Amino acid sequence: MVSAMRLATVGVSNMKQALSLFRDIMKLKVERTGPVSPSLLKAWKVKPGTKASMAILSCKGYAMGQLRLVEFTPTPTQKVRLDFGAINPDSGTDVGAKAIDFYVADPILPSVRKIEAAGYKFRSQPVKHQIGETISEECLFSGPDGVPVLIMVGHRHFPTSMRAGSPDGPFSEIPTISIVAGDLMRTRAFYSGVLGLTAVGDAETPEAYRNMVNKLTGTPDGTRIHFLLYGDPPEASGKILCVHFFNRTGKRLTGRMKPGHLGFSLLTHDASNLDDLHQKLRVFGSEIVTPPTLITDDGKPYKLMMAKGPNEEMFEFTQSVSVPSKGRARPVSKAKPKARKKPAPKKKAVKKPAAKKPEAIKKAAKKKIAKKKKR
């Protein structure tokens, strides 16, 4: 139904500062820069009169797991999540958008030092832990405007989780983003049943590693943590990691994840059929923020729909369309066109001699009689 996550959007107050981290230090490639189109701003439901510029970055042009930085004017004050630092009204277990992740090479410490040298603070020391057969080493820092950014080494990650050759540079594309989930059953029903993504991981942190993961996530020792990982195999990047904290689950960050706020504000997935997805979301009970809408002033035309997930997630679903020179836009179908039947050959019409009129018949009869008299 939908692809892996193509874009993770982060609202920033200072584009230059954000690019100094993601482009200059992390060496991500700038794919596109420029203003956000008026129709896209309208679809995003930002305040009238708001303007924005964006920069899209990738790891060496890789299509999935790209980062879109957006700077709004006037500068927003609301943050999607603020759960670390001297002023932290939110908790790390509050339901909603959490962090964006990047792979780094082993050992992890040189990458940590690069980021620290740029003035960013880590929330924990690197933590090595195991869930099932997967072994990871991770640590979290506060990026531009406090957005949580996690870096990790995949000591033993399967091809469904880590792309071959990753990180393919100092830092990878975004292989995973994380969401704090409130209800595991409803989360499973949404990501598998509605979006059609595949659960490539579904397990609780073993007791032996629980306290280590508690330090990583900033939760009290002994807190139970369950991880649900969704993707679109064989694509390894652009996955969604839903984290559940059982009885430690905090409040819902209602209305916080959306364009126009600072931090991790939007998830973009491509859809094979936007109208079908729209219907499924309505049946599931998701809030449709923007119904399927044609966008024609943002490069190639496409249809866009925005909707909320079960954990305060904000999604942007897109579908490419073709626009004929005359007429309405048509969705681009990946199915092969049906072969047209050849028309049956037309039979040649046989011309019949024209029927003679009554006057012509009388004249011909008179001529015959006149010839007989002459004889």
Half-sphere exposure of 212 (CA within 13 A, CB side): 16
354, pLDDT greater than 80: no
Instruction: Find, among 211, 206, 179, the residue nearest to 195 by Cα.
Output: 179
Task: Say which range, 69-83, 255-269, 305-319, 328-342, has the weakest mean pLDDT.
Answer: 328-342
Q: Taking residues 56-68, what's their average pLDDT? A: 97
185, pLDDT greater than 60: yes
What is the model's pLDDT at position 267?
Answer: 98
290, pLDDT greater than 70: yes
Determine the straight-line distance between the first and last CA of the chain, rounded to whole angstroms: 97
**Phi and psi based region of residue 368 (left: phi greater than 0; alpha: psi -120 to 50; beta: remaining):** alpha
Instruction: Find, among 131, 250, 252, 243, the residue nearest to 184 by Cα.
Output: 243
pLDDT band at 336 (very low <50, low <70, confident <90, very high): very low
- Report the alpha-carbon distance of residue 340 to residue 241 in Å, rounded: 46
Q: Taking residues 204-226, what's their average pLDDT? A: 92
Label the pairing between strands 29-35 and 51-58: antiparallel
| Contact call for residues 188 and 76 (beta carbons, < 8 A) | no
The model's pTM: 0.86
What is the model's pLDDT at position 131?
Answer: 86
- Our measurement of the distance from residue 194's CA atom to the centroid of its chain's CA atoms, rounded to an integer in Å, reads 15
**3-state percent helix, strand, coil for the chain, nearest multiple of 5:** 20, 35, 40
What is the model's pLDDT at position 344?
Answer: 58
For 42, phi and psi rounded to 5 degrees? -65, -45
H or E, element range at 229: strand 226-232
Over the chain, what is the mean pLDDT?
90
What is the model's pLDDT at position 149?
Answer: 98
Write out pLDDT tens, residues 78-134: 999 999 988 889 999 999 999 999 999 999 999 999 999 999 999 989 999 988 889
